[in-house]
Amino acid sequence: QVQLVQSGAEVKKPGASVRISCTASGFTFRKYEMHWVRQAPGQRLEWMGWINAGYGNTKYSQKFQDRVTITRDTSASTAYMDLSSLRSEDTAVYYCARRADWGLYYFDYWGQGTLVTVPS
Amino acid sequence: QSVLTQPPSVSAAPGQKVTISCSGTSTNIENNYVSWYQQVPGTAPKLLIYDDNQRPSGIPDRFSGSKSGTSATLAITGLQTGDEADYYCGSWDSSLSVVFGGGTKLTVL
């Protein structure tokens, strides 16, 4: 069965960077597009960007363009999201999600979420 | 980057029907499919509706979606207490980005 398993919770100081991993199983990783979505406490879902796991090309939200980098390791079936220059407003749960397929426009599987805390 | 507009909350009694609206623009909803996600607090979102009105396997037909122009609607009939959750609409945008609604908290009275 399809699973997306994310790395554990992180506590980071302001100005630091964080890397979150999302390890896929149960499907051919390189055939899909992996997205990252975050949710601050009590707030809405906020899309951050995606990576085509096969080609490696990316697209980022304008809001995070300067601070986010999404990469992947196809040999490990893992996507990574790096966020730099962290501030207290980046405290959120970060999710990876799989786009259902090329030409389909929805997320069919989500990771369990990773809480990143940046104390003010 | 635009976001989609949803009512912050809706409520209805068990057994009743509720609708949740999602308003967007010509760059997202009008020209792209809408999906809906159910999120129980503390858990990851779960796909509820895709391609405007399609249900994944396992989603009961009490949940339905529709779209007209720049707006989409999620309808839930026969409300159950287990339906209490936050509901989000989502759509791709013409810039190949993704936009979500602000979320709607459903309370079953």
Mutate one of B46, B59, B97 to test the A interface: name it (highest A CB count within 10 A): B97
One-letter amino acid for residue B68 of the chain: S
Per-residue burial over B58-95, b if 16 or more Cβ lie within 10 Å, else e, is ebeeebbbebeebbbbbebeebeeebebbbbbbbbbee
The mean pLDDT value of chain A amounts to 96
Give the span between the Cα atoms of B73 and B67, in whole angstroms.
Answer: 6
Structure confidence at residue B3 (pLDDT): 87
Calculate mean pLDDT across residues A9-24.
98
Residue A101: pLDDT over 90: no
Residue B24: pLDDT over 70: yes
Q: What digits encode the pLDDT tens for the residues A79-99?
A: 999 999 999 999 999 999 999
B1, A62: Cβ pair inside 8 Å?
yes
Give the span between the Cα atoms of B61 and B31, in whole angstroms.
Answer: 25
Structure confidence at residue A103 (pLDDT): 84
How long, in residues, is chain B? 109
Residue B1: pLDDT over 60: no
Percent of chain B at pLDDT > 90 equals 92
Give the span between the Cα atoms of B49 and B64, in whole angstroms.
Answer: 7
A112, B96: Cβ pair inside 8 Å?
no
Give the span between the Cα atoms of A43 and A75, in whole angstroms.
Answer: 35
Q: What digits encode the pLDDT tens for the residues A28-43?
A: 999 999 999 999 999 9
Quote the strand ranges of chain B, DSSP E: 9-12, 18-23, 34-39, 46-49, 63-68, 71-76, 85-92, 98-100, 104-108
Per CB-CB distance under 8 Å, the chain B contacts of A106 are 33, 35, 47, 50-51, 90
Distance in Å from the first CA to the final CA of chain B: 35
The residue of chain B nearest to residue A64, with distances taken between CA atoms, is B1
Structure confidence at residue A39 (pLDDT): 97
Where on the phi/psi map is residue B81: left (φ > 0), alpha (ψ -120 to 50), or beta?
alpha
Structure confidence at residue A102 (pLDDT): 80
B51, A59: Cβ pair inside 8 Å?
no
Residue B2: pLDDT over 70: no
Q: What digits encode the pLDDT tens for the residues A46-81?
A: 999 999 999 999 999 999 999 999 999 999 999 999
Distance in Å from the first CA to the final CA of chain A: 40
Give the span between the Cα atoms of B25 and B42, in whole angstroms.
Answer: 30
Burial class (CB in 10 A: 0-12, 13-18, 19+), A28: exposed
Structure confidence at residue B9 (pLDDT): 96
Q: Could you identify the residue written with the tokens 């939200």?
A: A61
Q: What digits encode the pLDDT tens for the residues B74-84?
A: 999 999 999 99
Question: Cβ–Cβ contacts within 10 Å for residue A33, how many?
Answer: 22
The shortest C-alpha distance from B77 to chain A (Å) reads 23
